[in-house]
Structures are given as C-alpha cells and as structure tokens.
C-alpha cells in the first residue's frame, strides 16, 4: 500500500497504532485532570487552573514523537474549562480575570488532549470541601455519575443513540434532577472532535438528530450534564465566550485589519481544534473575533448558566468500542457521595448497571491483565457507582 493509499484510508481502531495514540492522549489528559483537581482549593484563581491544565498537556505531548521524520500534530484538543456551581460549561477566562474558587463550590473541569488528531476528552465534577458530599450536591453528582455508567453500558454495537437519550433522562429523574438540554455526545474521528453521529441529551421538538446505531471500532465522547434546576441553560453574557473552533467549510473576506490579523493567526496555530482566546494576541483578539464569529468563520463555545442557586454536575468520558467490548479510557474517581435520593426502587436502572462492559470470550476464564494494547489507565468503575446510598 502506497503512502497516498494509506492517507486515503480512514484510520480507526482496527489499527493498533491508532489505539495506542488514543490511549496515550487519554493517559495525559487523565493526569492533567488529576493535577487540576489537586489544585482546586479555596482562593485558587480559575484562570491559573485553566492555564496549568493546558500547560501540562502541551508539555507532556511536546515530549512525544520528537524524533520522527513526519511531523505529528499533538497537544490540547479542548482548552481547560473550570465552570462553577450554576455555570454549566466553557468557562475559561482571559488572563486578566480575577475569579477565584470558594469553599463548597461545585467545580466542573473539562479538557481534551490529542496525539496525531486522535482525541481523548474528559470532564469531572469536584466539590471544594473535605469529607463526603451530601444533600442536593450529592444528588446531582450521583445523577451525572450513574447516568455516565448507564451510558457506558448502552453505547455499544447494535444499540441506538435514542436508547441512551431515554435512559439518562430516567436516571436523572430518579435523583430528582434534570439532564441539561443542548448537550451533545459525539462520535470522534481523527482530527474530528464533533463527528456526525450524535447522542442527544434531551429529546424535544426543537432539537432533532438523525437516528444512528453504534458500531464496532467507533470512538465516542459521552457528555453528561445534570442540574438541580430546569436544565434549560441560558447565555447571559457573550463577552464570557473565549473558546472557539475554526469552521473549516466557511470563507469570507474580512474587512477589519484586526480580524484579518487574528484569523491568520488562528489558521496557522489552531486550524482544526478548539482553542482559547488566551492563546491569541490578546489586545487585538476581542475586536477581531467578533467579525470572525459574525460571518461564521469561527464556531463559539458559549458560557451557559442555569439560575443562581442551581447546582450543575458534568461528567464526560471517551470510550473506544473495541471488538472485546467498551474501553472507557478517560475518567477520575469521585469524592464520596451521600445522596438523599436512591435508585433502590428503580429496577430498570439497576438492570442497565448490571450489563457487562466487556464482551465475554467463549470458553470462560478471566481475561489476563496487562495484555499488549490494554490500558492500565482509567479502567471503568465496574458495577455500582461510588455512592454511599442512604
């Protein structure tokens, strides 16, 4: 097979090299998440945490594939976001922002890493406190975690995207919470963070997606966001938006010099992956970005909010649909939770949680650990979620 033919063939999990790159990116993003969680303390500045997460990913990926002939793109696949309490997502402020964490804050950390375009994303929710998380904070976190565990077992070859949408809503309702509308779980491919196959968080008349069936050797980013509020977040201030992605299929002759300057910088530095305005020449950025967004050259990732007093939890993981079952490659252990609500009287949810993640091979016998190509990082949390039921 010539190099050209190899380029034409879409690389997927049938290639051991591709699996290795996904797992390498996952190992880095899991460690970056661990670093950021360890720094989530009262008075910590949010922008500092975002910068630490991104810097760690850049440093770790920068140390890989240094001595290869063909340049391999690698680095941040989604900038580190720290969204607190009723803020739903995408809060990654500019360097001048002074927002800090406070005791008791519910902190959602969202980030991504890629190696050669093979992307691993993760989101985790951490409450800034010692001891078990209780009350509604525990309910909303348990809802997100249990929904993620159910989704992990339903995102498998032969199942449909609508199966997952219905199931996660039932899980959230059991904890008297809502799944947040407008959140999409996407299939991912090389250099594609938001593929065409999509799982909707909430089905309603306004948002429709094509029916799709999961298939072997696909990769998905499963994105679960739960709320103690209505689950209908709003954009309060466009100025909070700092994360954008180049819309590669759009073109327009920009009028302003600042816009042309910034768009040229984006095209060189961030041609495909989402990026943060922090990484641009900041003085010109705000002015130039507006014209780029107005003419659809950039896709903004808006900062959304539930109502003040609502609590929002976020869990996102990357899963590889391997021939021997699902391999969840990104995650972080939760704090101890003592929710007020329970799934004890929910037989359907318990049945979903009892489904296997791996496909048992014929002939019985346990799978040996440590086989080549199998990850020791971030194994799925088998069985019941980390929840102390009351």
3-state percent helix, strand, coil for the chain, nearest multiple of 5: 30, 25, 45
pLDDT averaged over consecutive 10-residue blocks of the chain (390 residues)? Answer: 50 95 98 98 98 98 88 96 98 95 98 98 97 97 98 96 96 97 95 94 82 96 98 94 93 92 93 94 80 95 97 98 96 96 93 90 46 37 42
What does CATH list as the number for 242-301?
Answer: 1.10.10.10
Identify the pLDDT of residue 347. 95
Domain residue ranges of the chain, discontinuous segments joined by +: 16-238+305-354, 242-301
Q: C-alpha distances in angstroms, 85 versus 1, 71, 107, 118, 356? A: 53, 41, 6, 31, 33
Identify the pLDDT of residue 110. 98
Mention every residue, 6+ apart, whose C-beta is less than 8 A from residue 217.
12, 13, 14, 321, 322, 323
Say whether 242-301 and 16-238+305-354 share the same fold.
Answer: no
Which stretches of the chain are DSSP H helices?
Answer: 3-8, 16-38, 46-62, 135-154, 161-174, 257-269, 282-294, 347-353
Q: Which long-range contacts (CB under 8 A, 24 or more apart) does 3-10 make?
A: 10/189, 10/190
- Please give the Cα distance from 341 to 174 (Å, whole number): 7
Identify the pLDDT of residue 10. 75
Identify the pLDDT of residue 127. 98
Identify the pLDDT of residue 65. 87
Query: At how many degrees (to 10) do helices 257-269 and 282-294 cross?
Result: 90
Identify the pLDDT of residue 226. 98
Identify the pLDDT of residue 235. 95
- Please give the Cα distance from 61 to 115 (Å, whole number): 7
- Please give the Cα distance from 71 to 74 (Å, whole number): 9
User: Class of the 16-238+305-354 domain?
Assistant: alpha beta
Identify the pLDDT of residue 374. 37
Identify the pLDDT of residue 359. 78
Contact 374, 322 (CB under 8 A): no
pTM, two decimal places: 0.90
Contact 26, 330 (CB under 8 A): yes
């Amino acid at each position: 097979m010539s190099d050209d033919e190899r380029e034409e063939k879409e690389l997927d999990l049938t290639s051991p090299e591709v699996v290795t790159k996904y797992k390498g990116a996952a190992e880095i993003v899991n460690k970056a998440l661990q670093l950021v969680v360890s720094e989530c303390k009262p008075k910590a500045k949010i922008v500092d945490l975002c910068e630490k997460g991104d810097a760690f990913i850049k440093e770790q990926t920068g140390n890989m594939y240094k001595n290869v002939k063909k340049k391999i793109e690698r680095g941040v696949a989604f900038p580190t976001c720290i969204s607190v309490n009723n803020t739903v997502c995408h809060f990654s402020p500019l360097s001048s922002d002074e927002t800090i964490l406070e005791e008791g804050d519910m902190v959602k950390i969202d980030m991504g890493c890629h190696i050669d375009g093979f992307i691993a994303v993760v989101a985790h929710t951490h409450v800034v406190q010692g001891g078990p998380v209780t009350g509604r904070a525990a309910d909303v976190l348990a809802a997100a975690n249990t929904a993620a565990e159910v989704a992990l077992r339903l995102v498998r070859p032969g199942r449909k995207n609508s199966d997952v949408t219905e199931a996660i809503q039932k899980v959230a309702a059991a904890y008297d919470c809502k799944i947040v509308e407008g959140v999409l779980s996407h299939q991912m491919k090389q250099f594609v963070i938001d593929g065409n196959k999509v799982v909707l968080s909430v089905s309603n008349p306004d948002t429709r997606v094509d029916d799709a069936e999961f298939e072997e050797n696909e990769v998905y980013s499963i994105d679960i966001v739960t709320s103690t509020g209505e689950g209908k977040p709003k954009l309060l201030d466009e100025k909070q938006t700092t994360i954008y992605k180049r819309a590669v299929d759009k073109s327009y002759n920009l009028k302003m010099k600042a816009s042309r300057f910034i768009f040229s910088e984006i095209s060189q530095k961030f041609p495909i992956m989402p990026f943060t305005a922090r990484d641009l020449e900041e003085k010109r950025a705000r002015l130039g970005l507006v014209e780029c967004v107005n003419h659809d050259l950039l896709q903004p990732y808006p900062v959304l909010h539930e109502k003040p007093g609502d609590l929002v939890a976020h869990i996102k993981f990357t899963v590889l649909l391997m021939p021997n079952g699902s391999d969840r490659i990104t995650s972080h252990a939760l704090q101890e939770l003592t929710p007020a609500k329970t799934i004890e009287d929910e037989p359907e949810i318990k049945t979903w949680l009892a489904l296997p993640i791996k496909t048992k091979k014929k002939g019985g016998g346990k799978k040996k650990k440590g086989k080549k190509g199998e990850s020791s990082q971030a194994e799925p949390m088998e069985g019941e979620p980390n929840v102390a039921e009351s």
